[in-house]
Structure 1
Amino acid sequence: MRAVQITEFGGPEVLNVVDLPDPVPGDGEQLFDVATAGVNYADTHQAENSYLAPQTLPLIPGAEFVGTPAGGGPRVVGLLDGGGYAERTATHPRLTWPVPDGVSDEQALAVVLQGATAWHLLRTSAHLAAGETVVVIAGAGGVGTLAVQLARRWGAGRIIATASSPEKRALTQELGADATVDPALADDDPKAFAAALREANGGKPVDVVLEMTGGNVFSGSLSALAPFGRLVTYGMAARQETPAVPPGALMQRSRAVIGFWLAHCMARPEMMDDAMTELLQLVEAGDLRPVIGGRYPLSAVREAHQDIRSRRTTGKLVLDPRR
């Protein structure tokens, strides 16, 4: 089979398309033919070995796919520990879900990891209450575009999205954001970024921040929180160390910092079932709009990683393993 293999850690240049034997399913696993593979920002960390779980070489990246069981069967979308950037992959059927006929491969991939993350960020971690102000960092990204829509659907009082260009900020408003902020304000001064978030909220602090950048964006977001506000952190896109948060800084305003990683939901598949059932139904009904950022041939995997790292993309990126 054709697959993307990494034999040394680094940037997009370490992604090589090679011919490899088909994977051998482990205990309880099943072999699947991959029609479309999803690309996530976390994959760029996996290539560098800079993410939460240490990687072992050689490896095939990719945490999600749409395909069919080898030998035939219904189309499913599934999650993986790795191995998605390939013509075939193996995973436990418990981590796959049927794709409704009215949902495309790209749409299914948009919701299985990024959509489920947005769902759990708001419901499980932040416990969003009706009327609260929600800040979505990287609101034009794969998680962000869905989080903006879900926050609106679930009764957020005001939604503020950050995005790095006028076009991306306009997209977030089209999806339901009430106001936007340029995250570049945090580059030199997290206080300026915090002030911009409060200004976008009518001069008041905010209730919930979904944060995936780290560094100054994290610090500014934390400063912008109201009493009983929650900052949910789920990424490290800035590749910067985030300053430590002293307990007193949380107690002074009754603020909370919450970490989230979807891998822990994968270990409890029933948590994924709740999210996937609702998300796929919303997409099929036309009530949730996944933004598709591009479909790349497997042979252009380096370009896909370069584009997502340089913020040239919006929404969901996917790979076609047959090209």
Structure 2
Amino acid sequence: MVEAVVVRANGGPEVLELARVEPRTPGAGELLVDVRAAGVNYIDTYQRRGIYPVDLPFTLGKEGAGVVAAVGEDVTGFAVGDHVAWAEAPGSYAGQVVVSAAMAFPVPADVTDETAAAAMLQGLTAHYLVTSTYSVKPGDTVLVHAAAGGVGLLLTQLAKARGGRVIGTVSTAEKEALAREAGADEVIRYTETDFADEVDRITGGAGVAAVYDGVGKDTFDRSMACLAPRGMLALFGASSGPVPPVDPQRLNAGGSLFLTRPTLAHHLATPEEFRRRCDELFSAISAGRLNVRIGGRYPLAEARRAHEDLEGRRTTGKLLLIPG
């Protein structure tokens, strides 16, 4: 039996329950992994609340890193004792989890399990956003919301590495300092000023080539106002709530704009694509070109506090749960 964070009814963070569960035996093509660190992500809160319905009861979590404890049939390239990381393994808030070998990445020797866990879901999200959703080119100006958050810090660094000019939005002076340290050229405190007006001033009325918006309802309308003609609004999350239905005519009126609602699973469509993105991401980490900030570590028993901190916007960087 291992400890796991279980949800038996949808609701607030108080529904999170630490329970003892029987780990599943790995089947063909699977690995059983001792979890060293599990990532906390907004998608976990959506599932907890029932915004993304899942069958109850269920164990939360999708992402983490750890050590292979058992190998299922037909698995090649992995052995007991290997360190691996993953982004799409349901039930990762636990002492052990079963991971598809095709979607497990060998952690480089110079990267810790905690850094690997912190880099997977948010790092791969940032990677597909700047390379596939809107491919940042030298000279592009882009807007990154929540620039001191887990995705935001990585997005800022990756966009800068591709030659972009980054405008970030944050809520506090502490978060502004972190966004600037990550490379943001301009930082707007949205709590003090209208960010769309500031973008207009900074760009001289030209607007930005792309807005990377994981906030949703609270920022959507003004994000659209920031775009240059034929600009791209990449709505990759909804931490403030879902966006109401949109009249497509708004895209025409705004300057033949593009609107997309991408998700990570569609950008890890094959094991080959997963491995390619991981290779590029971890190469940057190993070379020191990409810094992964861990903003908080919590025991599994304190998953509720981790969710409260995340939803209360009291965090920077990545939050991790550490099994005992």
Change (3 A) 1:12 1:311: same
* 2:50 counterpart of 1:42: no
Deviation at 1:110, TM superposition (A): 2.4
Aligned to 1:130: 138
Name which of structure 1's ranges 74-83 and 285-294 shifts more when overlaid on structure 2. Answer: 74-83
* 2:298 counterpart of 1:296: yes
Contact 2:36–2:114 under 8 Å retained in 1 = no
Q: Which amino acid aligns with 2:51?
A: S
> Which residue of 207, 210, 223 corresponds with 1:208?
210
Gaps spanning 5+ residues in structure 2: where?
71-79
Deviation at 1:222, TM superposition (A): 0.6
Give TM-score scaled by structure 1 length.
0.92
Contact 2:153–2:182 under 8 Å retained in 1 = yes
> Which residue of 84, 87, 94 corresponds with 1:79?
87
Give TM-score scaled by structure 2 length.
0.92
> Which residue of 179, 191, 194 corresponds with 1:172?
179
* Superposed CA offset, 1:237-283 (max 9, x none): 112x4243322221230210111100223342322222110111111
Deviation at 1:185, TM superposition (A): 6.1
Question: SS of the counterpart of 1:301?
Answer: helix
Name which of structure 1's ranges 74-83 and 293-302 shifts more when overlaid on structure 2. Answer: 74-83
Name which of structure 1's ranges 72-81 and 135-144 shifts more when overlaid on structure 2. Answer: 72-81
Deviation at 1:32, TM superposition (A): 1.3
Tell me how far apart the structure 2 counterparts of residues 197 and 269 of structure 1 sit (CA, whole Å).
39
Tell me how far apart the structure 2 counterparts of residues 302 and 245 of structure 1 sit (CA, whole Å).
34
Aligned to 2:76: none
> Which residue of 110, 116, 123 corresponds with 1:108?
116
Tell me how far apart the structure 1 counterparts of residues 264 and 140 of structure 2 sit (CA, whole Å).
24
Q: Which amino acid aligns with 1:196?
A: E
* 2:191 counterpart of 1:184: yes
Tell me how far apart the structure 2 counterparts of residues 26 and 259 of structure 1 sit (CA, whole Å).
34
* 2:163 counterpart of 1:163: no
Contact 1:193–1:217 under 8 Å retained in 2 = no
Contact 1:180–1:200 under 8 Å retained in 2 = no
Gaps spanning 5+ residues in structure 1: where?
187-191
* Superposed CA offset, 1:169-220 (max 9, x none): 111011100111223368xxxxx43212222334431111000111230110
Tell me how far apart the structure 1 counterparts of residues 27 and 12 of structure 2 sit (CA, whole Å).
30
Q: Which amino acid aligns with 1:37?
A: A
How many residues align? The count is 313
> Which residue of 309, 318, 321 corresponds with 1:319?
321
Aligned to 1:189: none
Task: Kindly report which structure 2 residues correspond to 1:221-232, keeping only aligned pairs within 5 A, or say none.
Answer: 221-232=223-234
Change (3 A) 1:25 1:265: farther
Deviation at 1:26, TM superposition (A): 4.5
Deviation at 1:94, TM superposition (A): 0.7
Change (3 A) 1:229 1:311: same
Tell me how far apart the structure 2 counterparts of residues 17 and 160 of structure 1 sit (CA, whole Å).
40
> Which residue of 254, 260, 263 corresponds with 1:261?
263
Q: Which amino acid aligns with 2:59?
A: I
Question: SS of the counterpart of 1:184?
Answer: coil
Deviation at 1:321, TM superposition (A): 0.9
Contact 1:136–1:159 under 8 Å retained in 2 = yes
Tell me how far apart the structure 1 counterparts of residues 14 and 202 of structure 2 sit (CA, whole Å).
40
Question: SS of the counterpart of 2:56?
Answer: coil
